[in-house]
Amino acid sequence: MGSTVFERQRPSAATVDHALTGTRQAVFWLEDAPADSYPTLTASTSADLVVVGGGYSGLWTALLAKQRDPGRSVVLLEAKTIGWAASGRNGGFAESSLTHGEENGRTRFPDEYGHLARLGRQNLDELEATVRDMKLDADWERNGSIDLAVEPHQVEWLRDEAGAVDADSDDVFLDEAQMQASVHSPTYLGGLWHQKDGATVHPGKLARALARACADAGVQIFEHTPVAELVTSGLSRSEGVDVHTWSRDLTGRPTAATVRAKKVALGTNVFPSLLKRNRLYTVPVYDYVLMTEPLSSAQLDAIGWQGRQGLGDSANQFHYYRLSADNRILFGGYDAVYHYGGKVRDVYEQRERSHRMLAEHFFTTFPQLDGLRFTHKWAGAIDTCSRFCAFYGSAREDRIAFALGYTGLGVAATRFGAQVMLDLLSGHDTERTQLQMVRSKPIPFPPEPVASLGVNMMRWALDRADHHEGRRNLFLRTMDAVGLGFDS
């Protein structure tokens, strides 16, 4: 079997041991963002719109609902705290793609890919305008992103991709010398710079700033208020939905309150859907992350990276990394882990093997940073669906809408998903609701034990492909042919 650069150029065990000494299991972004707290719902009420989930999906839906119709009453219900899940712990790459990249988009939606690419850019531009106009404190930096080639066959992939871009794109192919002039790593053989299609953001600050913007617009936010059930039986279409919650009051006594909602939008991501029919469409896949201490100016000089772009290498199992505002490096990805049974569990966030592998790959990438330490390590569950990009829909006579399955690329795309949910609830066809991407669904995952067999076989096959110049084996080619896949 061939080897990858991360196996050929391993750092010393001493370098990795030193870097991981004292690394805390905690999400840097959540520690580093000012938090407001919101009350728990203890008494029944009513609203024009109830939004379930206090991540980006729910927050954008609530904010945009108020912007579309300031007179509408909006209640947002969050099971724990605002942004605690994927929205507060991601890499912070805000990308224009709505389809998890160009290749996936062109393959799955060949007839409308150009349209989707334009809508994605428009979405990113509008997101940026909101951050600017509402003065959201979120460390937004529109520096683009670079796909990196770290093996010779990846140089050819990037060159081909650069040749296939659409007219609106300003992607630039960087050869080895140009790439090294931009960021110095002995692993880099070339790059594809997406100059305007990406930004980096502080994920925790973005979530909390969005919540503040929602509250300022009149959205009533409730934390520690899990929704248990959505009931429509016995209610007419105009009466809406009874949203049953359960929580605890200030003395710790369990309370149950109901919100009678005309409409409901679900931004519940990887967590068990309140619509049972959606449960087989996504599986949680754990993604691991490290954060370094801030780099000194000498350490920064040693790597260049003046353009501060988001970086990601191009293998099937890839790393993503970026600078924070205080010049730390976030380094994540590669090891995507599915646990039998498909549950979301805190205990899965601690996986020494994955964090150590990331640390090794970090020093293969930047050996000149020997001596640097990691201050934080964490993980999060990715809502993976078989088509790698979100799916949308409505239920119960259009009283309930959902957008799910962002598969690791939802920082910007959730804003588009929020618009789709509001369109679907409005009952009017729009440019968005007519898209094939919005009208079609992915193939559901089979139940256990087949799900875990399939997902683990897929991981094994992707790893083998990365060790064989990216060549996909029969199993992967079969999965490609039926439109099933697995990626983070």
Stretch that binds ligand FAD, among 90-98, 169-177, 180-188, 368-376 (CB under 6 A): 90-98
Cα dihedral angle (265, 434, 66, 211), rounded to 10 degrees?
60
Stretch that binds ligand FAD, among 3-11, 47-55, 113-121, 429-437 (CB under 6 A): 47-55
Q: Which is nearer to ligand FAD, 309 or 414 (CB)?
A: 414
CA–CA distance, 424 with 393 (Å, rounded to integer): 7
- Between the alpha carbon of residue 385 and those of residues 14, 24, 448, the distances in Å are 39, 31, 16
* Minimum distance of ligand FAD from residue 72's CB (angstroms): 20
Site string for ligand FAD, 277-296 (x = CB under 6 A): ----------x-x-------
Residue 185 interacts with ligand FAD (CB under 6 A)?
no
Q: Which is nearer to ligand FAD, 222 or 476 (CB)?
A: 222
Stretch that binds ligand FAD, among 145-153, 352-360, 405-413, 459-467 (CB under 6 A): 405-413
Element (H, E) at 418: helix 413-426
* Among positions 4, 15, 40, 57, the unique one binding ligand FAD when judged by CB under 6 A: 57
Check: CB of residue 179 under 8 Å from CB of residue 190.
yes
Q: Parallel, antiparallel, or unpaired for β 282-292 and 310-313? A: unpaired
Cβ-defined contacts of 233-241 (< 8 Å, 24+): 237/397, 237/399, 238/262, 240/264, 240/399, 241/50, 241/396, 241/399, 241/400
* Minimum distance of ligand FAD from residue 172's CB (angstroms): 21
Residue 267 interacts with ligand FAD (CB under 6 A)?
yes
Backbone phi, then psi, for 348, in 5-degree steps?
Answer: -70, -15
Neighbours of 424 (CB within 10 A): 25
Q: Which residues have CB under 8 Å from 350's CB, separation 6+?
A: 25, 379
* Minimum distance of ligand FAD from residue 435's CB (angstroms): 19
How many residues bind to ligand FAD according to rule CB under 6 A? 41
Check: CB of residue 62 under 8 Å from CB of residue 219.
yes
Q: Which is nearer to ligand FAD, 16 or 86 (CB)?
A: 86
DSSP string, 200-218: E--HHHHHHHHHHHHHHHT
Residue 336 interacts with ligand FAD (CB under 6 A)?
no
* Minimum distance of ligand FAD from residue 146's CB (angstroms): 14
Under DSSP, is residue 229 helix (H, G, I), strand (E, B) or coil?
Answer: strand
Residue 86 interacts with ligand FAD (CB under 6 A)?
yes
Residue 204 interacts with ligand FAD (CB under 6 A)?
no
Site string for ligand FAD, 352-391 (x = CB under 6 A): ----------------------------xxx---------
State the burial class of residue 142 (Cβ atoms within 10 Å of its Cβ: 0-12, 13-18, 19+).
middle
Backbone phi, then psi, for 141, in 5-degree steps?
Answer: -135, 110
Q: Which is nearer to ligand FAD, 155 or 319 (CB)?
A: 319
| Touching ligand FAD, residues 306-335 (CB under 6 A) | 332
Tell me which residues touch ligand FAD (CB under 6 A): 52-58, 77-80, 84-87, 89-93, 95, 226-227, 267-271, 274, 287, 289, 332, 380-382, 406, 408-411, 414
